[in-house]
Chain A
């Protein structure tokens, strides 16, 4: 039997040091390309997976504030709306523009990326503006401020002609694809994981556990909270931008307080502070209503049962949430991550093989 101390240095040698930094990209891009290719032609799967992806980005990014830092933001849909409208508006303005040195499809994707980044940046700027004054406070104040912010954005959009007012913005070029959405899912998960392990992340955890103690240890609590908040808002803006490019019409009704709560529910259900939890809960909760539709469809074909039941889908969804939270109050994953659990047995297995 080798000692663990010996076996650990062995494992990393599998990957050349120069490759380590970009390894995730090297793996992810072909995977995503394959994923994208496998979905070509199936509109429904494409649409549904795009919604799933957007929800994952929202849940994972909100988890940085609500889970890791222990603050309580309930205005994520507001940041999403900023991203959606700014990115959508940018794309709408650039609709006729094409970069001459690129083929049309590639040029569209470049412009799409630009629009997304514009949306993300706008959301991040809003996050900074909202976060700076309110994160100096403690406790529930942030919840109230973010709630107010979400409503302000919605009302603002509703009364702005350039954003289509109440009817919403339609005609945004539908550039998005599951490949693109999941590329951002990959980025947000990677960023969240790297953040959690960094010293920056440790400070966030410290704030979550005890803000006074963290401050006493020299953690600049406001600074860290604001940075986490801006980071989270940026990804919410990106999610909104993606959303605007596959949903035919964006409308203030899609960014209500209820939407924010749905994201909070995903984070809480997954386990506050667990990126894996947010990821899994987002997938689960997005597919659940659609799954119920399939189930009911299978039960009664064209009879009235299936039709009546489509109406009670949402109450059942609510009931399931109550049951889940009662049976597992710490969330599905607690604060555990899948990468905390798996590597413990992986090296052991490798040793067995050797």
Chain B
């Protein structure tokens, strides 16, 4: 009787296999077609969006998890851009629609969602994500399937190196480190700075590495580099160590959730110097968490809501009307990414992967709300950054630094 067990097991395995298969009856055929399309690009009208009068785009974003506000802001920005595009007649008479999947801020979920968008929903193009490790996971899948992907705000250099189908509409990490180093040295005239980096985030490590190098090159001195891990709640030990070196400023290239608390605790241990950071600070929550402690600090960012440009002001007004609240940089970049995508779709000769890819690559001097976008040969956007000063419950535009 025992001998039966393995057989039953095998049977069970078969049944399990059969059950899964049933839920995805189409992909084997479809994926094949799409792969063929990706290679040849010669198919006439059997484009991935398939005959109907809508063009489906996909977005993968962190709607839940540690960086949820990023994903949601990005989604709002994209939605707004598509709404406008549809109101203006869509792309060559076709309406645009978007399907958004949550990745729970995990790379394996991001890869799964991207695969789903590519093979099940057959999107023409993928937008996302914010966090670079998630974008990397998606980029691999998008590149393999020959579906163009635009990341609105992943600043890690390696993302677009995945292949020629991967683009971004923001600047890259080294540039942000450079911007803050230049600002600290030339505008704030700081001599000695301490660095407090988030060891759990590649973004933070990248920024702090470049900052340290550039700041030293410009004649400044980095007194000490301390680190913490995302999710920590007590930073007093690191801050006390920093205080001993008596710096003129502290560079904290982390995310808003920790930075707010760090600012409070820095004031508690008696550090009165300004903090500096990168675009990870950009969230309404920063003011909530940091309170008055964060006032007088500076961070580099993609755009400033104070920018008097009518295009920016119109975007802010529209966004406020639709979602309430001032859009942050991630919303602005999401908006830009979606508009770059729409423009490219209009120019593309058909909706196949390579055609759309070539159209995106031609993007030049595109007037986005977060700066003018020109894509270079490495598919990265070349654009300037702004430095913002944190005030009481809002940010204030200080200066623009160009590459």
Q: Do the beta carbons of B102 and A249 come within 8 Å of each other?
A: no
Using a Cβ cutoff of 8 Å, how many contacts connect chains A and B? Answer: 193
- A193 and B9 alpha carbons, distance in the complex (Å): 10
Q: Do the beta carbons of B118 and A43 come within 8 Å of each other?
A: yes
- Chain B residues positioned under 8 Å from A166 (CB to CB): 133, 198-202, 204-205
- In the assembled complex, the CB of B258 is this many whole angstroms from the nearest CB of chain A, namely 14
Q: Which of A101-147 contact B (CB under 8 A)?
A: none
Q: Do the beta carbons of A44 and B120 come within 8 Å of each other?
A: yes
- Chain A residues positioned under 8 Å from B116 (CB to CB): 44, 290, 293
Complex interface bits, B54-67 against A, C-beta within 8 A gives 1, otherwise 0? 10100000011000
- In the assembled complex, the CB of A92 is this many whole angstroms from the nearest CB of chain B, namely 14
Stretch at the interface among A201-209, A326-334, A336-344: A336-344
- A297 and B113 alpha carbons, distance in the complex (Å): 13
Q: Do the beta carbons of B63 and A23 come within 8 Å of each other?
A: no
Of B16, B141, B201, the most chain A CB neighbours within 10 A belong to B16
- A168 and B200 alpha carbons, distance in the complex (Å): 10
Interface residues on B, range: 35 or more
- In the assembled complex, the CB of B75 is this many whole angstroms from the nearest CB of chain A, namely 8
- Chain A residues positioned under 8 Å from B132 (CB to CB): 167
Q: Do the beta carbons of A43 and B205 come within 8 Å of each other?
A: no
- A338 and B4 alpha carbons, distance in the complex (Å): 11
- In the assembled complex, the CB of B70 is this many whole angstroms from the nearest CB of chain A, namely 13
Given contacts A41-B32, A186-B13, A283-B16, contact A51 B200 (CB under 8 A): no
Q: Do the beta carbons of B31 and A43 come within 8 Å of each other?
A: yes
Given contacts A38-B21, A43-B31, A166-B202, contact A27 B7 (CB under 8 A): yes
- Chain B residues positioned under 8 Å from A324 (CB to CB): none
- A311 and B61 alpha carbons, distance in the complex (Å): 10
- A294 and B24 alpha carbons, distance in the complex (Å): 11
Q: Which of A295-343 contact B (CB under 8 A)?
A: 297, 302, 306-307, 310-311, 313-314, 338-339, 342-343
Task: Name the CB-closest residue of A to B29.
Answer: A41
Task: Name the CB-closest residue of A to B30.
Answer: A42
- Chain A residues positioned under 8 Å from B98 (CB to CB): 302, 307
- A206 and B32 alpha carbons, distance in the complex (Å): 54
Contact with B202, one of A34, A165, A189 (Cβ below 8 angstroms): A165
- A14 and B4 alpha carbons, distance in the complex (Å): 10
Stretch at the interface among B103-111, B310-318, B331-339: B103-111
Stretch at the interface among A220-228, A231-239, A250-258, A265-273: A250-258
A177 located at the interface, meaning its Cβ lies under 8 Å from any Cβ of chain B in the complex: no
Q: Do the beta carbons of B199 and A48 come within 8 Å of each other?
A: no
Q: Do the beta carbons of B28 and A40 come within 8 Å of each other?
A: yes
Task: Name the CB-closest residue of A to B26.
Answer: A42
- Chain A residues positioned under 8 Å from B106 (CB to CB): 253-254
Q: Do the beta carbons of A41 and B199 come within 8 Å of each other?
A: no
Task: Name the CB-closest residue of B to A170.
Answer: B136
A8 located at the interface, meaning its Cβ lies under 8 Å from any Cβ of chain B in the complex: yes
Q: Which of B109-143 contact A (CB under 8 A)?
A: 111-112, 115-116, 118-120, 132-133, 136-137, 139-141
Of A43, A44, A48, A287, the most chain B CB neighbours within 10 A belong to A44
B8 located at the interface, meaning its Cβ lies under 8 Å from any Cβ of chain A in the complex: yes
- Chain A residues positioned under 8 Å from B190 (CB to CB): none
- A26 and B38 alpha carbons, distance in the complex (Å): 40
Q: Do the beta carbons of B140 and A42 come within 8 Å of each other?
A: no
Q: Do the beta carbons of A343 and B14 come within 8 Å of each other?
A: no
Contact with A311, one of B9, B16, B102, B145 (Cβ below 8 angstroms): B102
- A134 and B95 alpha carbons, distance in the complex (Å): 62
Given contacts A24-B6, A190-B6, A293-B101, contact A45 B24 (CB under 8 A): yes
Q: Do the beta carbons of B108 and A254 come within 8 Å of each other?
A: yes
- Chain A residues positioned under 8 Å from B20 (CB to CB): 45, 48-49, 52, 287
Task: Name the CB-closest residue of B to A20.
Answer: B3
- In the assembled complex, the CB of B21 is this many whole angstroms from the nearest CB of chain A, namely 7
Q: Which of B1-53 contact A (CB under 8 A)?
A: 1-10, 12-14, 16-17, 20-21, 23-24, 27-29, 31-32
- A311 and B69 alpha carbons, distance in the complex (Å): 12
- Chain B residues positioned under 8 Å from A287 (CB to CB): 20
- In the assembled complex, the CB of A161 is this many whole angstroms from the nearest CB of chain B, namely 10
Contact with A342, one of B8, B105, B156, B229 (Cβ below 8 angstroms): B8
Task: Name the CB-closest residue of A to B103.
Answer: A310
- Chain A residues positioned under 8 Å from B204 (CB to CB): 166
- A252 and B104 alpha carbons, distance in the complex (Å): 14
- In the assembled complex, the CB of B114 is this many whole angstroms from the nearest CB of chain A, namely 9
- Chain A residues positioned under 8 Å from B112 (CB to CB): 47-48, 51, 290
Given contacts A45-B27, A293-B116, A311-B64, contact A247 B6 (CB under 8 A): no
- Chain A residues positioned under 8 Å from B398 (CB to CB): none
Q: Do the beta carbons of B31 and A42 come within 8 Å of each other?
A: yes
- Chain B residues positioned under 8 Å from A197 (CB to CB): 2
Q: Which of A11-35 contact B (CB under 8 A)?
A: 11-12, 14-15, 20, 23-24, 27-28, 31-32, 34-35
Of B2, B6, B13, B198, the most chain A CB neighbours within 10 A belong to B6
- In the assembled complex, the CB of B61 is this many whole angstroms from the nearest CB of chain A, namely 10
Q: Do the beta carbons of B108 and A247 come within 8 Å of each other?
A: yes
Q: List 7 A-B contacts (CB under 8 A).
A: A27-B10, A34-B14, A43-B141, A44-B115, A182-B13, A253-B133, A290-B116
Q: Which 6 A-B pairs have the closest CB atoms?
A: A167-B202, A248-B140, A24-B6, A42-B27, A339-B5, A302-B97
8 extra interface residue pairs, beta carbon distance < 8 Å, beyond A43-B118, A306-B99: A44-B116, A168-B202, A186-B9, A197-B2, A243-B108, A249-B133, A253-B107, A343-B2
> Which residues of A come within 8 Å of B, CB atoms?
8, 11-12, 14-15, 20, 23-24, 27-28, 31-32, 34-35, 38-45, 47-49, 51-52, 155, 158-159, 164-168, 170, 182, 185-186, 189-190, 193, 197, 243, 247-254, 283, 287, 290-291, 293-294, 297, 302, 306-307, 310-311, 313-314, 338-339, 342-343, 346-347
